[in-house]
Structure 1
């Protein structure tokens, strides 16, 4: 009861926490396998927890969900931050004692808040208003939440809700994800729900974009600008892909003093990733300012508004590690953490410092003013970059230049060459010109598919804009053909990958080193599975396109997975979180 009260008060704006019943604790860690609960105990425990929840003032009801783990039942209780903070709980369940107190979390400990203490004052101040991302948006309706985006998210995080999402009412799904609030008659999306699961959140929050400016000279008007919009998940991924394809470059220095060349990046990608995610995550969406990224020849500046939340100030930012007690946009942070776009808990700035140091780059600069009105992150280019690029520019022959394609048709001559005839940097340039959706679309159209089925597969609406952006370029390049070319608008029209389109797919696959051969499987979550017996690496491709590698997996586990009547259930119970893994 005291833990539920502490999570409901959420003094650090971490969006509450979890209580897991049926798992023993040893030295602060869960002891597996779980001891479990009897089936008949689950309902009794839920009723008891609801009874205890009603003892809190105001009344607070957490979310309960039973799970089967290692063939044993456990009950997971999610206690989100309450909308009516602060909460108080009885000090004792004894009927003789009627005193109540506030409770908060300090690490794993649940502490009683003393009357008149700083914690009490801070709790009252913090909870005087609901965080903006957790508020109801009165200008929107549930129709403004995109089911495809929600299902894509559930697939990617491998949530058991994915399969249920096709059966349950949409309103119930939104309630379970806590992206909608209100009575059944006036159920509306939260601001976090719109930012995450609406294709155009800038309609509701004018600052919900990322503006990138690329300066070609130190001064003057010679620059180009790109504006990234869409759900903030898509914004982050599009911006990072742009940096990966156009800005980040690996460079090599050959030294007469040592046999091995020195390799480094002009900017380490991990530092850029953390800085971009930090800006999108922690900015205020109540303001009209977008995230602004300025790319100069010698530095990258990432600016967001406002600055960090007190008590963090410039003096604290000058240190390599910043301990934040309060977080802006706790709901957004929870979803981004599930997607592994952020770790949370103040790890972003230390990771930026570490990745720059390991690359040999200058340390970052973090800047704000005395009012914390803005937050500026400056990443300086590696000191050897400009001299090396200058030498390369003078010495590089015409055919040594990295390929640049004005359109997809320009790629076709290279598809007629063998992979060994194309240089590594040119291979990379070709791959970077092919979007993940284009590859997915060509793979899907190995057999003829209708336009409606294609857009359903890649998670986009079937409209003229998406046809023009995703289908027409592939048709123009000769990678996709119409089954009824004489009647392009026919209702029976379908689309089929051409021989050249299949050649492109082969090129993209042949360029992969150390590829584990996967075989298709029948599963609602898993698309294909591969296993490298020598390296004990299990590779799983999910239907949303993500591929994960799991390490030190015994062959027996792979065989049991393939023989299991439900691959998804076996994965959730016997594989997930039990082996080290990485996303390819």
Structure 2
């Protein structure tokens, strides 16, 4: 039966590291079974390996076209393997596939990491007197372990990496055949052609995604991570949270992007898409004495690919914390919980020479590499350092603690973008007369009618134009830390609303117009994917569908029990646990607080804060209004 991998990529070492592949010109069961045993023991938790019979090797590379095997040879090998597999102690049955490569047939043996290590095998599988020994992989060879290695191998008994463990609380019926089919299609596996003739159980078994005897089979965690519609159901807070701090770390202003959740590969691609659209910027400068201009990025995309993929690959899925990304004007911080292996010294991170002893998630990496979302082992940090240097960026910083409870990557912005930001701000301060408002319709602008509906980003742009009507879209983008294209979209939206007009072309200025009002429905038409709707507007008139333009930092007024207004007192609050009462009291005074701020102020762990909030929402005493830019509303309902 076909394997869930692209055979052409496997032969060339593109899908799996070369030290996990052995090429054998012919069938020699002695060394082949020593390697099967070594791969099954998976001493370094890298996920087993592959043996390709019928392909010669030269200097570690396959010799093509293959020598191949005839049908009689293949039949004989398959019959022998049935009995040889039972000679491994405990028995181990690798997956086997007959493949045709350049008109020649070869045998592909997938010796996956076993569930019952340590395994031992006779030194010579065909010998009459069989002497058993353990075997492990050392580089690209299968060898007998030393005394200390043998003790370590025995100690690994029952210690399976998290992603390869079975989840006995879940049925394999939860696995999505649609996602499985999509994966096999993307990697161009021949197993896709067999899907319609296989039951779900047979398909998952061939992909080594099930555990247990027939009638009591359960999916492995990696199957739930990659092939279910809602992995967060099984691994709480397995998502990505992105927070922007447009004015820097010391300023309290921030805004949160929508959370990104789903399968691991989906989270990686969606996070990279978000950063590419909303964070990445390119700058071109003419350098004196050089014929060509120099182009740089604030952050090289290849560095983001590595750091995001590694954060979701190597994170601890038992820890109920999301992957956090913090966007500052001068740096990006990517934080995942579950730090690196203790075998890695802290000083090695800054040198870029990081070689983990073992992997937390051994199967996940194979799936991601097949999808071209990760590279080979121990290549992430060197790649990040290399592309940052090539881009002219400062070197990244990698942090963890002695307990290895987290891993944090700090990517500094390219210095040109800091210089440009400071230069533009200085120019604006020099040009501005520091007055706010002015006659309506004048070049300096003025307060437009408060009944118009604007997005918050449009409101920010309008505030800038009041004092600086000659701002360009590029300067606006730098000041608000957004892309130039995004700034242009918001300016176009304001023009369509009739709020601003451009006077004088490229060398002109923006004029703010007097508007009588705009219906909310009309205003919503200009909102695009980069706008953030105003949350919890305060009504100031009886006009139907007319929304006021609140200040971005305006908090809900605590004046009673009106809808959307936070009351001073909460009936029934005494029935709540002490921590939940403390949390509600804090939110009464700080309704726009983030989970992070609540955690820091009340000295409660992130995951505990979320659990309390979930329970308060279930009891009907707390509600979130307005999504990521909204606030917490304490209701007047008695908790049940």
TM normalised by structure 2 equals: 0.62
- 2:77 aligned to 45, 69, 74, which one? 45
Indicate whether 1:325 and 2:357 are aligned: yes
Indicate the residue corresponding to 1:225 in structure 2.
256
Counting only pairs closer than 5 Å after superposition, residues 427-438 of structure 1 correspond to structure 2 as none
Separation of aligned partners in 2, 1:129 and 1:399: 57
Indicate the residue corresponding to 2:226 in structure 1.
196
> Aligned pair count?
415
Indicate the residue corresponding to 1:430 in structure 2.
none
Using the TM superposition, give the Cα deviation of residue 406 of structure 1 relative to its aligned residue in structure 2, in angstroms: 7.0
Local SS of the residue matching 1:286: coil
Counting only pairs closer than 5 Å after superposition, residues 335-346 of structure 1 correspond to structure 2 as 335-346=367-378
Q: Against the structure 1 CA distance between its residues 18 and 50, is the aligned structure 2 distance closer, same or farther, given a 3 Å change threshold?
A: same
Indicate whether 1:128 and 2:158 are aligned: yes
Separation of aligned partners in 2, 1:210 and 1:121: 39
Counting only pairs closer than 5 Å after superposition, residues 108-187 of structure 1 correspond to structure 2 as 108-114=140-146, 117-187=147-217
- 2:137 aligned to 85, 105, 111, which one? 105
Separation of aligned partners in 2, 1:140 and 1:224: 37
Separation of aligned partners in 2, 1:287 and 1:366: 20
Native 8 Å contact 2:324 2:335 kept in 1: yes
Indicate the residue corresponding to 2:485 in structure 1.
403
Q: Which moved more, 1:384-393 or 1:299-308?
A: 384-393
- 1:357 aligned to 361, 378, 389, which one? 389
Counting only pairs closer than 5 Å after superposition, residues 75-94 of structure 1 correspond to structure 2 as 75-93=107-125
Runs of 4+ off more than 6 Å: none
Q: Unaligned regions of 5+ residues in structure 2, if any?
A: 1-32, 429-469, 477-483, 497-505, 507-523, 529-640
Native 8 Å contact 2:37 2:88 kept in 1: yes
Deviations 1:241-284 (A, max 9, x none): 01111111111122344332221111111111101111100011
Using the TM superposition, give the Cα deviation of residue 325 of structure 1 relative to its aligned residue in structure 2, in angstroms: 2.5
Using the TM superposition, give the Cα deviation of residue 78 of structure 1 relative to its aligned residue in structure 2, in angstroms: 0.1
- 2:65 aligned to 33, 43, 53, which one? 33
Indicate the residue corresponding to 2:545 in structure 1.
none
Native 8 Å contact 2:118 2:156 kept in 1: no
Separation of aligned partners in 1, 2:318 and 2:80: 40
Indicate whether 1:309 and 2:341 are aligned: yes
Deviations 1:55-90 (A, max 9, x none): 110000000001111111111000000000000111
Q: Against the structure 1 CA distance between its residues 80 and 222, is the aligned structure 2 distance closer, same or farther, given a 3 Å change threshold?
A: same
Separation of aligned partners in 1, 2:192 and 2:252: 49
Deviations 1:195-227 (A, max 9, x none): 111121111111311111111222243112231
Indicate whether 1:71 and 2:153 are aligned: no
Using the TM superposition, give the Cα deviation of residue 387 of structure 1 relative to its aligned residue in structure 2, in angstroms: 1.5
Native 8 Å contact 1:313 1:372 kept in 2: no
- 1:379 aligned to 400, 408, 411, which one? 411
Q: Against the structure 1 CA distance between its residues 215 and 195, is the aligned structure 2 distance closer, same or farther, given a 3 Å change threshold?
A: same
Native 8 Å contact 2:161 2:359 kept in 1: no
- 1:54 aligned to 79, 86, 109, which one? 86
Deviations 1:165-211 (A, max 9, x none): 23321111111112222233122211100011112111111131111
Local SS of the residue matching 1:166: helix
Indicate the residue corresponding to 1:438 in structure 2.
none
Indicate whether 1:300 and 2:332 are aligned: yes
TM normalised by structure 1 equals: 0.67
RMSD: 2.6
Native 8 Å contact 1:353 1:364 kept in 2: yes
Using the TM superposition, give the Cα deviation of residue 91 of structure 1 relative to its aligned residue in structure 2, in angstroms: 2.2
Indicate the residue corresponding to 2:620 in structure 1.
none
Local SS of the residue matching 1:289: coil
Native 8 Å contact 2:84 2:125 kept in 1: no
Native 8 Å contact 1:212 1:294 kept in 2: yes
Separation of aligned partners in 2, 1:351 and 1:134: 27
Indicate the residue corresponding to 1:251 in structure 2.
283
Deviations 1:525-556 (A, max 9, x none): xxxxxxxxxxxxxxxxxxxxxxxxxxxxxxxx
Separation of aligned partners in 2, 1:80 and 1:224: 45
Using the TM superposition, give the Cα deviation of residue 31 of structure 1 relative to its aligned residue in structure 2, in angstroms: 0.6
Using the TM superposition, give the Cα deviation of residue 120 of structure 1 relative to its aligned residue in structure 2, in angstroms: 1.0
